[in-house]
Structure formats: structure tokens, C-alpha cells
Amino acid sequence: MRLHVVDHPLVAHKLTKLRDQRTDSPTFRRLVDELVTLLAYEATRDLPTTPVTVVTPLTVTTGCNVAASRSVIVPVLRAGLGMLDGMQRLLPMAEVGFLGIVRDEQTLLPSTYAERLPSDLTGRHCFLLDPMLATGGTLTSAIRYLAGRGATDVTTITLLAAPEGVEALEGVRRRRAGRHRRHRCTRSAPRRARLHRPRAG
């Protein structure tokens, strides 16, 4: 897994405002939208492009087109829905799917309760949206689900991440070595404090 922490003054400023308990709900939603657009800029850095010739007012030149039509944006329900608009702003031509994952309160294990995804994700670049990478259970489950549909190129975008979650995603990469070609995690900032995880059972 390649981890990319977006260390930028604008991102840090907006994230600070987002985390402030005095921030009202409309401002919170606007900040999430703005942060996701900034993170999406970094998360899409490796998208494939194809050369194209265009005629400008002065000359003929060569540029490029992003092959975003092969991308699938997958917000994890329901928290990831708040990140969708910011992502679609940069990739309006990408297909949108949904994945609903819930954690059993007794076992703490995640399970999928809803999905709307293409049946075959082979060759598609999937962008998983979830604002908080806590223990990593939800996102690791989501990555496995996408891999089961043939996805080999997955980028997760989170606003905050705890060390446990990062370790869990790294574990998925190690276990799927050779089957899961690329996984990237783009986040705005790490959470320095470790989480207290209740024991199952």
C-alpha cells in the first residue's frame, strides 16, 4: 500500500475548522466538500491519460485526456456520501457505485448489507470514500469486496486516519500480494492518538 498524507496549509486549515466543536453543521458539510476536492486532486495523480491533438486560437498542439470513464467512485454508506460531491467535481464522468457496510455490535466484524456496483471491476480504477479510517475494519472489508469483483486498482480517500487503520490496510496489501496490484490511501492528516478498541464477546 502506498500511503499519501496531504500536508498542505489549506488542507490543515480546513481540517482544523472541521474538527472544531464550535463548527456548525452547514460549515462542516462545506468543509468536507472542499477537503475531498483537495484530496481528490492528489488521489487522481496516477490516472492514465491518452494524448490528444487540439486546435487552439493560435496553433495546433498536443494535450491529454484523462481516462476517467474507467473510474468508479464508491462511497461507503452512509458517511462516505458526504464526500461524493467533492469527488465528482473533479471526476464528473466517473461511474458511481455504493457499498453499505455495518459492524456487528457483538462481534465487531463488518458485513455488507447493500451494494450497487458493476458486476465486473476488472481494469477499473476504484476510489473508496470513507471520512474516518479508525480500526480499518470497514475499509479492509470494502477492499476485499471490490477485489472479489475483480478490482486490482483501489484508492481510498479519508479525512482522518488512526494508526490501527493504517496498519490494517497495510495487512490487506501483504495478504493479497500478487492478487491486488495497487492500493493507495490518501488522507488529510494522521490521528496521533491510538484508538481504544473494545474486545469482541
Number of domains observed in the structure of the chain: 1
Q: Does pLDDT of 38 surpass 80?
A: yes
Residue whose C-alpha is closest to residue 95's, from 127, 61, 62, 122: 127
For residue 201, tell me if it sits in a domain.
no
Q: Does pLDDT of 6 surpass 80?
A: yes
For residue 199, tell me if it sits in a domain.
no
- Confidence at 182, pLDDT banded by 50, 70, 90: low
- Confidence at 192, pLDDT banded by 50, 70, 90: very low
For residue 200, tell me if it sits in a domain.
no
Q: Give the pLDDT of residue 119.
A: 93
For residue 195, tell me if it sits in a domain.
no
> What is the average per-residue pLDDT within 150-178?
82
For residue 9, tell me if it sits in a domain.
yes
Task: Name, in order, each residue with C-beta under 8 angstroms of 197's C-beta and a sequence gap of 6 or more.
Answer: 108, 135, 164
β-strand partners of 184: 2, 155
> What is the average per-residue pLDDT within 143-172?
89
The residue with cell 474486545 is 199
Query: In Å, how far are 55, 59, 69, 93, 121 from 65, measured between CA atoms?
Result: 14, 18, 11, 12, 21
Task: Name, in order, each residue with C-beta under 8 angstroms of 11's C-beta and a sequence gap of 6 or more.
Answer: 35, 38, 39, 188, 189
Burial of 60 (0-12, 13-18, 19+ CB in 10 A): exposed
The residue with cell 466543536 is 21
For residue 180, tell me if it sits in a domain.
yes
- Confidence at 48, pLDDT banded by 50, 70, 90: confident
> What are the pLDDT digits (tens) for 61-80?
999 998 767 899 999 998 99
Range of the domain at 37: 2-190
Query: Which grid coordinates belong to 63?
Result: 494535450
For residue 48, tell me if it sits in a domain.
yes
For residue 145, tell me if it sits in a domain.
yes
Q: Give the pLDDT of residue 193.
A: 41
Q: Give the pLDDT of residue 196.
A: 37
> What are the pLDDT digits (tens) for 21-33?
999 999 999 999 9
Q: What is the CATH number of the domain that holds 121?
A: 3.40.50.2020
Question: Do 143 and 183 touch, CB atoms closer than 8 A?
Answer: yes
> What are the pLDDT digits (tens) for 117-157?
999 999 999 999 999 988 888 999 999 999 999 999 999 99
d(CA 84, CA 23): 21
